[in-house]
Structures are given as C-alpha cells and as structure tokens.
Structure 1
Amino acid sequence: MNIKLVLKLLGRILSMEAAVLVLPMAVALIYRESPMPFVWSILVILCVSLPLSFLPAQRHFHVREGFVSVGLLWLLTGIVGGLPFYFSGYFNSFIDCVFEASSGFTTTGATILTNIEALPYGILFWRAFTHWLGGMGVLVLVTAIVPSLGVRPHYLTQAETPGPVFSKLVPKQSQTSKILYQMYFALTLAEVVLLRICGLPLYDALIHSFSTAGTGGFSNRNLSVGAYGNPTAEIIIAIFALLFSLNFGLYFLLLQRRFKEALKSDEARFFLLLVAGSTALITINIMPIYENVWDSLRYAFFQVASIISTTGFATADFVLWPHFSQMILVILMFCGACAGSTGGGIKCSRVVMLLRSIRRELHRIAHPRSVEVVRLDGKPVEESTLHSVLVFIGFYILIILTAALVVSLDNVPFDISFSAALTCVSNVGPGLSTIGPSGNFSAFSPLSKVILSLCMIIGRLEIFPILVLFSRHTWRRN
C-alpha cells in the first residue's frame, strides 16, 4: 500500500475543495452576509491539505490504492464539507454538520434542519452546491490533479463510478471525464434557463438545478418544490430528474449519432417502463384524495420521478397517501436510477440482471440440460458479473437491516428505522412517517446520525470502496 501517495492525492483534492468554497463565499458577499464561515473553513482545510500535498511519495498506484483513496476521500468530505455549517452557528452540533454535508455530497438530501429558510443565502448555496459537486464525484478533480501526480485516473473512477460494470466513453479516462462534465454542465445550465423562464428567481433556479443535477433534493424552501405552486416548474424539475437518472453513456451515443446502440439499452427501457407503470398505479390510487385526474397525475408523476431518480424533492406529503402508493415508492427507493447516472439505489441494470438470472434458473429447473445465457443490451453477461451483482444486492440488504437495527435503539417505530436506513443507503432523502417529505432527521441520536451518514457514503460508493478500508488485507504490504 502506497499510503504516502494516497495521502498526497487526498491533500491535493481537499485543497481544491477549499478553492471551491470561494464560490459560496462570493454569494454570501453578494447578499451582504458574513463570509467568515467560509474563510475559517478554507483556512482549516488548507492547514491540513497543504502539508499532505507536498509529501514525498513513490508513484506506483494500483487498484487497491484507488479504492482506498476514494473511500478515505468521501469519509473526509463529509467532515470538511461540514465546516461552513459549523462556523455559521446555525447547527446544534458538529455531528449535525457532518450529517448535512454527507447528505449533500452523497446527493442524499436528508436533512436535520427544521427551518431551512432561516439559513443565510451563502450557506444554502453551499448546501445545494455540494449536490452538484457530489453528483459526478471526483472525476473533474482527477482530470485536473492526476497528471501532476503520476496516478492513473482509471483506478479512481473504477472505484467511484456507479454500476455493475465500469466502462470508458473514449480510450483516455481524462477525456471521458471532460465529456461527462460537459454534458453535466450543459444539462444543468439548460434547467437553470428553463426554471428562470417559468418564473423562478435566479438564486432559486440555481439551487434547484444543482440539486436536480446531483439527484440530491436540497431546496432553499421549507416546503421544497411545492412551495412555488408552479406546475410548469414541477414538470421541468421532474423531467430533468429523470434525464440525470439515465446513463450518461446514452447521451454520448446520441451525440455520436449512434441511435441504434442507444435504443438497445435494456436498462433505459426498464427504467422508463417502471416510471410509467408506477405513475399510472399511484395516479389511480390517489385519485380519491385529489378528486381530479390532472392533479393526481401531476403529483404522482413528480413523486415517482423524484423517488426513482433518488432526488427527493416533494410537492406533496406522500406519507398521507394510501399504503399501496407508499409501498410502490419504497420499491422505487430500492431500485433507484440507471448505472452511470448521478442517481442512487441498487440501479436498474442490476435489477434487470437479477430478474433475468431468476428466469434462467426457473428455466434450468424445467429443462436441466439446457444452456441459457443472461443477456443485457443484446450482449451476453459474464458469470463473474452476475455473481458480483448477487453479492452486491446481498450486501445492500444486509447493510440496510444492520443500520435499521442500530437506529431502532432510538426506540423509533419500524417504519421509521427501516425507511431511514433504506433512504440513506439508496441516497433518496425522505423516508416514511416523521422523516417523510414534511419531516426531518433532527430527532435521531448522535449515534444514529453517524451511522446514517456512513450509510449515505456506503450507498454513494456502492459499498465496496468503504468495506475495503476495513479489510486487513488492504493494509498489508505487497
């Protein structure tokens, strides 16, 4: 383990996070607020990161170092990202600050705040901007930093990219990173423009676009998107939440005019079918509440798009909906978005492979001598990939159950403890009952907040980069 190079890399990336804090500090100055929370945060981060950045280190860097770097980086990000919250004085404890920052960077959107609108503009801007930074991870940082360190970016992105299979858009990983962020920035800018056209102030449009892009869900309003009562804005946000939930590789194929390849995506078809089916079922189920087909469809579509994309915005309190509709949303929390997107959850590609593996096993039972291959996008899936998918789903459920068990020490009902663990591991945000769209996580104990913060990071990195940190084999010398 080349621990010195890992620490050096972490120092460089944390230094860039300090530089990024200049942006919310500028927002604070524009609105004539005190910039000191950001000034103190920058100084603290630089005091730690600069000595690490200049550590002498050998340049051998492999998969193990990549996983450890990404795991440690995300654990540290919640801590250093919470410094502006801590210095602002609006949070009760540093654990609350770490929870909020972890929720931001992992694009979860769970909050401990009871009165969001009481916070300064600069702090709320930083809170939403963490979603945008965390949506694509450290890819843009890798593009800027890695060449000067002699580290192969492939090993970092392999550890951080969501999905069962890691692939590059073009041969060079640095070019792939630039293409991804160009598309990411273009989609974000398009949403900002459309939200401004439909009447949202520029500041509000930026906040909600950052949160939608990262599929996070932090809003600057207590009632989230529902505070505006603007159906057009709701539709725009819902559509963009779905767009950011699709594999960005599809957009690359469309830009390359490789339309046939893009249309072959089994995952995208399954995702869109799930959205359409869930919307239809919930619309029918909640129609007696709203007594209007349009309103029922409007609220159903927004919440389905918000939950399956793991964005977590709200226009209605689905805790008040029938249990059938709530159960559909819980299933969508498990499933999540597409691989290679900014969304969380198990990912639709894994669900498709699981369902097709089940179908194959049933076929084998009926026809023992038959040989059937599981396919995705018309291509055979390797048995090793299927095995890793089953292991991942098993780990996923085990972590949720374990976290729910710890949270239950707070003596909360099952629906709260289980949905809290599920929504944090899946990076969704709202859960059921008191942690629904109208609630928050402030009532949990410090232990539960730490566990749930860890769940957010585990879910964002898809389990293994964090588990690697706790494996004794990781730290052994070669």
Structure 2
Amino acid sequence: MNYKMVLRFIGNVLLYELLLMIIPFGVALFYGDGDANSFLYTIILMLPLALGLRSIKVKDNEMYAKEGFFTVGLSWIVIAVFGALPFVISGAIPSFIDSFFETVSGFTTTGATILSEIESLPRGILFWRSFTHWIGGMGFLIFILALAPSLGANTIYLLRAESPGPNPGKIVPKLSQTAKILYIIYFLLTIVETVLLMFAGLSFYDAIIHALGTAGTGGFSNMNSSVAAFNNPASEWIITIFMMLFGVNFALFFQIIRGSIKSFFKSEELRYYLLMIGVSIVFITINILSINGGRIEESIRQSSFQVVSIITTTGYATVDFNLWPTLSKVIILILMISGAMAGSTGGGIKTTRIVVMLKAIRRGIDRILHPKRIQSVKMDGKVVDEEIISGVFLFLGAYFVITLIGIVIVSLDGFDLITTSTAVLTSISNVGPGFEMVGPTGNFSAFSPISKIVLSFCMLAGRLEIYPMLIMFSKSIWKKTY
C-alpha cells in the first residue's frame, strides 16, 4: 500500500472540502444567525492539515485498485469527520457522534436525521446540511477530478470505487472531461429546479435547500414536516419530476445532449425503472384512495411523490406513510431496497442489478428444464459478461450480510423489530425514513452511540457500493509494499 500517495490525496480532499465550506460560511454571514464562526474555525483547523498532507513527496504516483478503493473509503470518513465540526462548534448538534451521523447521512445522501427540531437551527448550518447532499450525490472525489484532472495517479480506480453502479466508466475518452460533463448536467438540473420551485411560490432559500436535497437524492429539508410544510401541490409535482430525473443514469442525459434520443429510450434499465414507478403508483393510489376520502388527485399526488421519493432514495415526505395500509408499506419497502438506476445520484441495490439478477434466475430455471440449451443474459441487446453476473450476486450477498449483522447489533438497543430492521435497511439503501420510530415523522435520536456508528457504516457502505468500506478491514491492505 502506497500510504504516502493516499495521504497526499487526502490532503487534496480536505483542501476542496474547506473551499466548499466557504459557501455555507458566506450564507451564515448573510443571514447573521451567529453560526459563521463555526465554519471559520473549521476552515482554519483544516487548512494547515490539508496543506501539510499535500506537501508529502511521493516517488511512485501509480494508483492501483487497492489504493483506489482504500482512498475512497478513507476520504469519505475524513470528509464526514471534518464536515461534522460546524454542527458541534455552533452547538446545533453538541454531540460529536450525533454530528458525525448527521454528516455521514448528508454526504451519503441518506437523509436520516437525529434532529427533531429543525426550523430553529441557523440558516448557514441548515444550508451546509443540505449542501452535503449535493456534494455527495454525484461523488465528492468525482467533483475533485472535475476541478483537478491531473492528480498524478490512475484515477479511474477512484471513479470505479465511488460511482453509484456496477459498471461505471468514461462517457468521453478523458476521465476529467467525463467528470466535468457529469457535473455540468448536475448543476444545470439543480438550477432549473430551483427556478421552478421559486415560480411555484417557494422563497429562494427554501427552493435552493430542496433543490440541493432533490439533486443529491438526499431529502434533508429545512422544515420539520419536510415538503408537506408548504402545502403546495405545484412544488410537490416539481420535486417529484426532478427526483425521478435524478434517479436516471446521467450517461443517458449525455446521450440526449449528443442528439441520440433513441439511445436514451432504448435503455432496458430505464424501462424497468419507469415500469416499477408506474406500477407502484397505480397500486398505492388505489390502496390509499379510501384513506383520502376518495379524492383521486390527492391520492395520485401523494402516491407519486412517495413512490418516486423512495425508489430514488431521496426520502422527502408529504404524508406519513406509516399510516398507509400494509400493501402500500410493503411496496414502499421493496422500492427502498431496489433503489434507482446505476450512474444516478440514487442509492439502493440499483435497478440494473435487479434486472440482471432476475434474468440470471430465469436462465437458471431454463437450464434445469433444457440442460443442452446455450443461453446468455442480455441487457440492451448485449451479452452480460459472466463476471458481471457473478459480481451482482456477490454484491447482493454482501449487502444482505451487512444488513443482517447491522440488525443484530442495533437490536441491542431493544426497539421493536420493524424500527430496528428498517433503520438498518434505510441506512444501507441511503433512503432516510423507515417505519415506526424512524418513519417520516420520526428520527434516529433514540439510538445508542454504538448503533449510530453502525448505521453510519451502513450508510457509507451503501453509498460506496460496499467494497471500499469492506476493503478497509482487509489485513493485506495494511501491508506496506512500497
């Protein structure tokens, strides 16, 4: 393991994090709620450490897979540790464990919170809380690659370790250009949503907060009752549409920019993604119609918002789906696990893995019935490599093993099974709300410090596609080879 190179890269990570922290510092100064110093002190603390690490001389700049995955895992822990400091210093969240949990939840775009009272917090702190979603949504290290394309390393491994999906890659020959294109699309969609929300009646501050949460599919709101607080159907529909857009693979948007609209609609994963959304909306709308007194428009709007919010793992809420019938809650649970498309800002297992798994299972059944028939798994008309199929099942195995271990540890807190299991599931899927105590109107404050650390690990593992966090526990990774 080339530790010097890893530490030098961590220095770059800290430098860009503190530069990004200047934005909420400016917001805090503008509103004058007394939280500006919390950002200033954090920046002052980070600066010498960042510069010191960046000054480390490295003989060999070559980055291999293990350095890439290890660097990604360590980087996300580091940005969460330092990102938690403004919460602690300002007194908004005095406990460092709670602040770390909140920051991990922000950067991983989970949206799980330990806060019960949000509206009274300083606006600079609330902006930073939502801004972490936007930073983490596309990938913090991808953001660095967009701004600093030449870091003296084979950074494709950083992209592979951080990208949300089984098959990340370049959409143009140069990795830095790929990163820039992704962030340009990301930025423009965020701006468009902000403007539309303002036209719908939200203030600029409220609009940007919710656009940041939508773009990162995170779900932190500056209102105690989330989007429901505005009682604004137009804003609900706008957020619904943009949540759905941010759950789409960004490479498909690039295809539209190139003028290849057919390639966009030929995506088999996109068709499955839209089918899951459509079918779920229909079933839940019918299921909750009686609860809403037969009001069809309201039932469609509520079901559409919550289905899209959960499948994209955004976690915004307009209703307490804890009160919905069992069928609706089961559908929500399935969507919570499945997640959005690969290459989007959403979490969960990802639609592409679900599709590959189902096709592989169907092929397995056909092989039993027709042993001599040669059959392959295809996506978008192309044969899926057997190594990818194997990787999908390995990922699913690791996903559920971590989930089960997490449930066992968190169960020591003594809460009911639904609360405990969905707290872990919603954390590793980066959704935010679960059921019962951690439902849309609840929070995670009652969990013990150990449980919050376990849930933070689950959030990081889910956002980083499991392996960067597991690799950190490998014995071989700690052996210095040069």
Give a deviation string over 1:239-274, Cα, whole Å, max 9, x none.
100100000011011111112222221110000000
Match of 1:28 in 2: 28
Q: CA deviation at 1:192?
A: 0.4
Question: In the TM superposition, what are the counterparts of 1:366-385 in structure 2 within 5 Å?
Answer: 366-385=369-388
Separation (CA, whole Å) in 1 of partners of 2:51 and 2:262 = 49
Match of 2:356 in 1: 353
Structure 1 SS opposite 2:129: helix
Contact 1:12 1:145 (8 Å CA) reproduced? no
Match of 1:314 in 2: 317
Q: CA deviation at 1:48?
A: 2.4
Match of 2:38 in 1: 37
Q: CA deviation at 1:475?
A: 2.6
Match of 1:105 in 2: 107
Separation (CA, whole Å) in 1 of partners of 2:391 and 2:24 = 40
1:461 is aligned, of 461, 464, 468, to: 464
Q: CA deviation at 1:146?
A: 4.7
Separation (CA, whole Å) in 1 of partners of 2:199 and 2:312 = 24
Would you say 1:15 and 2:18 are equivalent positions?
no
Which letter does structure 1 place at the counterpart of 2:478?
W
Separation (CA, whole Å) in 2 of partners of 1:368 and 1:207 = 56
Separation (CA, whole Å) in 2 of partners of 1:414 and 1:209 = 34
Contact 1:153 1:174 (8 Å CA) reproduced? no
Separation (CA, whole Å) in 2 of partners of 1:363 and 1:243 = 36
Q: CA deviation at 1:477?
A: 4.1
The answer for unaligned runs of 5 or more in structure 1 is none
Give a deviation string over 1:12-32, Cα, whole Å, max 9, x none.
111111111111111111112
Separation (CA, whole Å) in 1 of partners of 2:433 and 2:206 = 21
Separation (CA, whole Å) in 2 of partners of 1:142 and 1:474 = 24
Separation (CA, whole Å) in 1 of partners of 2:347 and 2:456 = 15
Match of 2:229 in 1: 227
Q: CA deviation at 1:63?
A: 1.7
Identity of aligned residues (%): 49
Give a deviation string over 1:190-242, Cα, whole Å, max 9, x none.
00010010100000000000000000000000010000000000000011001
Which letter does structure 1 place at the counterpart of 2:95?
S
1:407 is aligned, of 379, 389, 410, to: 410
Contact 2:87 2:94 (8 Å CA) reproduced? no
Give a deviation string over 1:293-345, Cα, whole Å, max 9, x none.
11111100100010000000000000011111111000001100000000000
What is the CA RMSD across the aligned residues, in angstroms? 0.9
Question: In the TM superposition, what are the counterparts of 1:290-369 in structure 2 within 5 Å?
Answer: 290-291=292-293, 292-369=295-372
Contact 1:64 1:474 (8 Å CA) reproduced? yes
Return the TM-score normalized by structure 1: 0.99
Separation (CA, whole Å) in 1 of partners of 2:370 and 2:12 = 57
Which letter does structure 2 place at the counterpart of 1:295?
E
Separation (CA, whole Å) in 2 of partners of 1:231 and 1:329 = 21
Aligned length: 477
Which letter does structure 2 place at the counterpart of 1:388?
G
- Structure 1 moving runs of 4+ over 4 Å: none
Which shows bigger deviation, 138-147 or 116-125?
Answer: 138-147
Return the TM-score normalized by structure 2: 0.98
Which shows bigger deviation, 428-437 or 37-46?
Answer: 37-46
Separation (CA, whole Å) in 1 of partners of 2:207 and 2:48 = 35
Structure 1 SS opposite 2:148: helix
Separation (CA, whole Å) in 2 of partners of 1:321 and 1:437 = 12
Which letter does structure 2 place at the counterpart of 1:195?
L
Match of 1:242 in 2: 244
Separation (CA, whole Å) in 1 of partners of 2:407 and 2:48 = 37
Contact 2:280 2:307 (8 Å CA) reproduced? yes
Separation (CA, whole Å) in 2 of partners of 1:234 and 1:314 = 10
Which letter does structure 1 place at the counterpart of 2:200?
C
Contact 1:215 1:312 (8 Å CA) reproduced? yes
Separation (CA, whole Å) in 1 of partners of 2:304 and 2:262 = 28
Give a deviation string over 1:399-448, Cα, whole Å, max 9, x none.
11111111100001110110000000000000100110000000000000
Which letter does structure 2 place at the counterpart of 1:11?
G
Match of 1:129 in 2: 131
Which letter does structure 2 place at the counterpart of 1:21?
M
